[in-house]
Chain A
Amino acid sequence: MQSWRRRKSLWLALSASWLLLVLLGGFSLLRLALPPRPQPGASQGWPRWLDAELLQSFSQPRELPEDTASPPQAPHGGSCNWEACFDTSKCRGDGLKVFVYPAVGPISETHRRILASIEGSRFHTFSPAGACLLLLLSLDAQTGECSSMPLQWNRGRNHLVLRLYPAACPRTFQLGQAMVAEASPTVDSFRPGFDVALPFLPEAHPLRGGAPGQLRQHSPQPGVALLALEEERGGWRTADTGSSACPWDGRCEQDPGPGQTQHQETLPNATFCLISGHRPEAASRFLQALQVLAALQEMSPARVLALRQQTQFLWDAYFSSVEKVIHTTLEVIQDRIFGTSAHPSLLWNSPPGALLALSTFSTSPQDFPFYHLQQGSRPEGRFSALIWVAPPGQPPLKLIQAVAGSQHCAQILVLWSNERPLPSRWPETAVPLTVIDGHRKVSDRFYPYSTIRTDAILSLDARSSLSTSEVDFAFLVWQSFPERMVGFLTLSHFWDEAHGGWGYTAERTNEFSMVLTTAAFYHRYYHTLFTHSLPKALRTLADEAPTCVDVLMNFIVAAVTKLPPIKVPYGKQRQEAAPLAPGGPGPRSKPQAPAPDCINQLAAAFGHMPLLSSCLRLDPVLFKDPVSVQRKKYRSLEKP
């Protein structure tokens, strides 16, 4: 009985297993028997041809020689391009020289500003014969007068017609081969690579300087509206991040309603502004704006941050004054003339911009002080000392020894700017010493001598006194900040209420905005800027008032970097005994603030006050710390 029951259970188990086997196996067999149809959703792709190997190439080698059959012929078309319509042979030698046709009759304020900005530029020439670009300010709508064809017109060859107001005058003559620079050109008439598109210049646009960008904060604040839409009559509507329910291809039927939008008269505090090329018809435009909004919300914060900063850079570098707009136009044309030695794209598109990074200095970004990070390069590990010997002038033997003692010193240049004859003997130094005979002008100190072989210059006055360790430490600091000036003694500027102007002082204060160039490290590029970019009038100003040259150099560097200089520690005792202030040979000449007018003249010439104040000094890490002197690398800096 028990065995039967056991057998029964065994049979049961067996049959259950069979059933399972049949079921599972059946499915598998079924699957083998019926090959699967490609599922409708699955991607088919381009077929792999069995005979793909046999396909012929699109071009048979035999075909190529037929090219010879036809004579080379420049393709012809209706309009101009750069090669066909601009004669660069006139620009050889001096590069771009611009002649401006004098204005006829009364001119508008904008017109006057444009003329002034061209005449103040390094491109300007008074002779039409020597010019390679002839500039015609055209068709001034304000006066209602239309200019007639100028004398040297020559079918417009090498001419630039600057149009401030679109087609205000009927065309009195054919433009021919002339380039046109105007605001909002139409896509049909604009010739890329030949014409120049300008921003619209308002009446009140300042001649030079110009207001800086209004961005005070890198990143958008939480709660600020995302998008503002330009409306008719110059108003703005804003939308915040919540109101983006519209899908891209759907139609937004609902009116956004007053709750989600605000109407503003002034420029709104929004992250994006939607500017319509056509006349905005408020309602439908707004719906489109919402679609844009959806796309904008996809954008990563990193990209928004980058875009915000780039707007500010572009505004400040190329748009904020009439002078910048005009100089940018000329720089664009000069780049076309230069060809291979034009500005690389990086120089146009990152601070400080192409107007301040001269392509005549170099076309390799790593030669400039600004682009080391983007290039993955590092500033050079050595410097050149440039010692200026002004009258009465003794050979600065001690100074030469101290500087030559630095392991980073590559060469010493002595600029002999003195009535006395050159000394025949100079001290033996480990590094090469070169003597340059100067012309006794202060501006000589900042000439880009070809003998300077390093990026870093240590500018010195023969009466300066520095120790080797001071030089070493300051140079290391400069390597961290190659675009700034690193100096030992400082000046600070201030607004003088009493005189209603700027003033500056050498007195010790809690802040400073300039370093003295009689002992400072800076990049050799600033010599090029000083000599080739600065208006000649300012260099003359420096020659006439030598104390002004420090201020001028600091102005240049601050205008380029938009950063204050850096101060490093300087031996206190000597500081009291022999001030580094230029032109003060006396042992205790009160740090003077002579020619207070200098700073005001410069501020006027720059169009704004570029100087910025700093409240810090960079010291060695263990400077005056309560720790054994043996541990300190720059212990001599602490000696009383």
Chain B
Amino acid sequence: MSCASVPGGGLRHPLRCRKPWDEECEEEAVCVIMCASVKYNIRGPALIPRMKTKHRIYYITLFSIVLLGLIATGMFQFWPHSIESSNDWNVEKRSVRDVPVVRLPADSPIPERGDLSCRMHTCFDVYRCGFNPKNKIKVYIYALKKYVDDFGVSVSNTISREYNELLMAISDSDYYTDDINRACLFVPSIDVLNQNTLRIKETAQALAQLSRWDRGSNHLLFNMLPGGPPDYNTALDVPRDRALLAGGGFSTWTYRQGYDVSIPVYSPLSAEVDLPEKGPGPRQYFLLSSQVGLHPEYREDLEALQVKHGESVLVLDKCTNLSEGVLSVRKRCHKHQVFDYPQVLQEATFCVVLRGARLGQAVLSDVLQAGCVPVVIADSYILPFSEVLDWKRASVVVPEEKMSDVYSILQSIPQRQIEEMQRQARWFWEAYFQSIKAIALATLQIINDRIYPYAAISYEEWNDPPVVKWGSVSNPLFLPLIPPQSQGFTAIVLTYDRVESLFRVITEVSKVPSLSKLLVVWNNQNKNPPEDSLWPKIRVPLKVVRTAENKLSNRFFPYDEIETEAVLAIDDDIIMLTSDELQFGYEVWREFPDRLVGYPGRLHLWDHEMNKWKYESEWTNEVSMVLTGAAFYHKYFNYLYTYKMPGDIKNWVDAHMNCEDIAMNFLVANVTGKAVIKVTPRKKFKCPECTAIDGLSLDQTHMVERSECINKFASVFGTMPLKVVEHRADPVLYKDDFPEKLKSFPNIGSL
């Protein structure tokens, strides 16, 4: 049995033969059923031949009919009911033209104009959202209606394709609720995306008669094209009282900071054109302008730039002489040269986004999609989602009066920063611009973050592109802080039944000056720990914790008894470390509190023949792990090991009774991105890896098992987090020609 090959150290107690036994039992059970059926088979046929032939046929037919019927019914019962379970039965399929019509009397109430002083704490009732464990707001969507005035003339187009998509995206999201009483945010189905298509007064009246309108508080309106001729207001002109506005094209004058949400103007080209991401590298044009409806003054300025800087600046306009059938939206021209739009944007490093009559321009989305860095020239424009997105990383904002200096401003940006901006621009488009759904969900997330600020998405999550999120490490102990020596450390000894050796370890460790508490984790459920009177008398508190199960992970549990930050994990057979070595180890940990600081070091190597990782315990010049049979580390890593270990590693370690130290090395290196610190010279550790039995073959099995652990963990982590270094820490004067008695840690490397 495999149990025999488990190294018989004190900790790795044999407890593994459960599984084979279970398998055997299963086989037996199967056998019983089979034997039983055989018995019936023998009886059955004997019954029928004795009857008369006529009756027999009759009976057999009847019997088979009944049997067939039974089988058919059974199958029907358990067959997946495809018709019933499909969504179409639950979600109505209707025509937009069939929606109920609501007549708005001419004198029905109109909401107040938008209240500019609104803030979340004055105009929004957060108590509606309640405190809920998921920290998610609940959003209700009013049913679609068609509004007409007294003369039966419709107030607006019922719904646009984009607004339909938007409401569908909300309805499919986690935010949605169809229970109006539980909702904390209400979205009218009255489409106000484009102000030009609606009648302002009547639309306002339609809003006011919504069942939960209540001056518009907790209502959210989406608008992308605000204002109208001649002065083009930068926010929707429909009176809306306290309603939140998610608007494209806000200016600093109309945007209510922390209340409204600035959203992009959706570009339909996002869905129509597939522009694969273009890698970094030189692009043909330095600066490009592709907008067609530019004001003549701006066009003059741009053309002046083109004259001054020649080929590197390209100013495009709409094409005047296109043949019939060519989509003019998808073409741009410079003199007689015709370019494909938006493909041409990928040929430029910077792309101008100028305001027209409106501040928000759909071209911004096209420019981002092409990975071209937008140069936003639109004074006072609130960039989309600027509450959470860091536009400095993806765009250049130039004041309108500096337009003539644009070229020199852009030239001062280092190449590396440009490449980061290009990557960032593309990422913003992918995450927040490319579909109506992305725009809708980002808007709701921003509002959600305001209501549950303690559960809000971080700056990094909003802004870091996936490639940075993957490669970067955010060290949980990032504050450079040297913990005070007075805090001391807690020693944790995991033990099973080697009492004598345990007592020796306790006595040795208790001599270390900075020890502040000793915790014995008693991992043997079959035996009680020795009586109080038998334990060694030491100067610090000694506490015994009994565990419910003999698991290796018990060593890394964040016990409440640990009151210091520093933890010394030590096996119950490590008696060869001197007090000087342990005290020095603690001092080293204080300088590197976010690392594993340990004594025996180990290395992982890539085995080119086998194409996998290999565990190495020889005398090497490098080190990438320390054994936790004797190591200092921060208590926080116990919390991480117990509750945040990725995949099934923790169970795997407990099942195999091995490699908990390798798992800890992986965990710490992965979360901090830093290497271990090995302290003091190598010494002969008796059974450093707990292979108490001498003999080469067992040693080899052990090495194979440890190598397997490394490969397993690397696959779970999806990367090899361990860092290799060539240094270890010694006392400053170690082996120096200096009087021993003047050294702080003379007793190092002895024994």
A residues with CB within 8 A of B: 3, 6, 10, 14, 17-18, 20-21, 24-25, 28, 35-36, 38, 42-52, 54-59, 61, 63-78, 81, 83-84, 187-188, 192-193, 215-219, 221-222, 247-249, 291, 294-296, 298-299, 301-302, 305-306, 309, 312-313, 339-342, 344-345, 349-351, 362-364, 373-377, 473, 476-477, 480, 490, 508-512, 561-564, 567-568, 572, 612, 614-625, 627, 631-634
Whether A66 pairs with B357 at a CB distance below 8 angstroms is yes
Residues of B within 8 A of A187 (CB): 119
Whether B478 pairs with A249 at a CB distance below 8 angstroms is no
Residues of A within 8 A of B532 (CB): none
Residues of A within 8 A of B178 (CB): 43-45
Whether B726 pairs with A620 at a CB distance below 8 angstroms is yes
Q: Which of B88, B413, B484 contacts A216 (CB 8 A)?
A: B484
Tell whether A57 pairs with B472 under 8 Å between CB atoms, given A48-B91, A67-B357, A218-B636: no
Residues of B within 8 A of A218 (CB): 477, 479, 481, 483, 565, 593, 634, 636
Q: Which of B167, B293, B738 contacts A65 (CB 8 A)?
A: B293
Q: Is B409 an interface residue (CB 8 A)?
A: yes
Known: A45-B178, A218-B636, A376-B470. 7 other contacts (CB 8 A): A67-B357, A70-B229, A81-B380, A490-B732, A616-B729, A621-B620, A634-B726
In the bound complex, what is the Cα–Cα distance between A476 and B254 (angstroms)? Answer: 56
Nearest-Cβ distance from residue B593 to partner chain A, whole angstroms: 7
Whether A68 pairs with B417 at a CB distance below 8 angstroms is no
Q: Is B159 an interface residue (CB 8 A)?
A: yes
In the bound complex, what is the Cα–Cα distance between A631 and B619 (angstroms)? Answer: 8
Most buried by A among B130, B380, B400, B733: B380
Whether B454 pairs with A305 at a CB distance below 8 angstroms is no
In the bound complex, what is the Cα–Cα distance between A621 and B135 (angstroms)? Answer: 50
Residues of B within 8 A of A625 (CB): 619, 681-682
In the bound complex, what is the Cα–Cα distance between A640 and B554 (angstroms)? Answer: 48
Residues of B within 8 A of A221 (CB): 563
Residues of B within 8 A of A342 (CB): 392
Whether A617 pairs with B476 at a CB distance below 8 angstroms is no
Whether B682 pairs with A51 at a CB distance below 8 angstroms is no
Interface membership of chain B positions 600-624, coded 1 if the CB is closer than 8 angstroms to chain A and 0 otherwise:
0100000000000000000111110
Residues of A within 8 A of B88 (CB): 48
In the bound complex, what is the Cα–Cα distance between A47 and B167 (angstroms)? Answer: 9
Q: Is B69 an interface residue (CB 8 A)?
A: yes
Nearest-Cβ distance from residue B167 to partner chain A, whole angstroms: 5
Nearest-neighbor residue (CB-CB) of A628 within chain B: B619
Q: Which of B13-21, B71-79, B538-546, B686-694 lies at the interface with chain A?
A: B71-79
Q: Is B420 an interface residue (CB 8 A)?
A: yes
In the bound complex, what is the Cα–Cα distance between A187 and B117 (angstroms)? Answer: 9
Nearest-neighbor residue (CB-CB) of A26 within chain B: B73
Whether B232 pairs with A70 at a CB distance below 8 angstroms is yes
Nearest-Cβ distance from residue B123 to partner chain A, whole angstroms: 13
Residues of A within 8 A of B167 (CB): 46
10 cross-chain pairs, A with B, having the tightest CB-CB distances, nearest first: A248-B131, A376-B471, A67-B356, A77-B253, A46-B171, A309-B479, A58-B160, A510-B744, A55-B161, A58-B193
Residues of A within 8 A of B393 (CB): 344-345
Tell whether A627 pairs with B619 under 8 Å between CB atoms, given A57-B268, A58-B193, A508-B736: yes
Total interface residues on B, CB under 8 Å, equals 166
Q: Which of B77, B297, B473, B742 contacts A373 (CB 8 A)?
A: B473
Nearest-Cβ distance from residue B188 to partner chain A, whole angstroms: 13
Nearest-Cβ distance from residue B709 to partner chain A, whole angstroms: 22
Nearest-Cβ distance from residue B700 to partner chain A, whole angstroms: 21
Residues of B within 8 A of A511 (CB): 732, 744
Tell whether A219 pairs with B224 under 8 Å between CB atoms, given A72-B356, A511-B732, A622-B682: no
Tell whether A618 pairs with B728 under 8 Å between CB atoms, given A58-B197, A340-B392, A623-B681: yes
Nearest-neighbor residue (CB-CB) of B88 within chain A: A48
In the bound complex, what is the Cα–Cα distance between A81 and B370 (angstroms)? Answer: 31
* Chain B 42-69 residues near chain A, CB threshold 8 A: 47, 50-51, 59, 62-63, 66-67, 69
Nearest-neighbor residue (CB-CB) of B47 within chain A: A6
In the bound complex, what is the Cα–Cα distance between A69 and B196 (angstroms)? Answer: 15
In the bound complex, what is the Cα–Cα distance between A346 and B455 (angstroms)? Answer: 21
Whether A75 pairs with B251 at a CB distance below 8 angstroms is yes
In the bound complex, what is the Cα–Cα distance between A298 and B134 (angstroms)? Answer: 10
In the bound complex, what is the Cα–Cα distance between A633 and B738 (angstroms)? Answer: 26
Most buried by B among A65, A83, A631, A633: A83
Residues of B within 8 A of A73 (CB): 231
Residues of B within 8 A of A66 (CB): 229, 293, 357
Nearest-Cβ distance from residue B82 to partner chain A, whole angstroms: 13
Nearest-neighbor residue (CB-CB) of A474 within chain B: B727
Residues of B within 8 A of A51 (CB): 95-97
Whether A45 pairs with B91 at a CB distance below 8 angstroms is yes
Whether B159 pairs with A623 at a CB distance below 8 angstroms is no
In the bound complex, what is the Cα–Cα distance between A47 and B99 (angstroms)? Answer: 11
Whether A249 pairs with B729 at a CB distance below 8 angstroms is no
Most buried by B among A38, A56, A217: A217
Whether A24 pairs with B74 at a CB distance below 8 angstroms is yes
Tell whether A616 pairs with B732 under 8 Å between CB atoms, given A14-B62, A72-B295: yes
Nearest-Cβ distance from residue B12 to partner chain A, whole angstroms: 28
* Chain B 280-337 residues near chain A, CB threshold 8 A: 292-295, 297-298, 328-329
Whether A219 pairs with B565 at a CB distance below 8 angstroms is yes
Whether B417 pairs with A74 at a CB distance below 8 angstroms is no
Most buried by B among A10, A28, A47, A216: A47
Q: Is B5 an interface residue (CB 8 A)?
A: no
Residues of B within 8 A of A35 (CB): 89
Residues of B within 8 A of A14 (CB): 62-63, 66
Nearest-neighbor residue (CB-CB) of A490 within chain B: B732
8 A-B residue pairs with Cβ-Cβ distance under 8 Å, sorted by A, are A28-B73, A58-B160, A78-B253, A217-B487, A218-B477, A298-B455, A619-B730, A621-B622
Q: Is B678 an interface residue (CB 8 A)?
A: yes
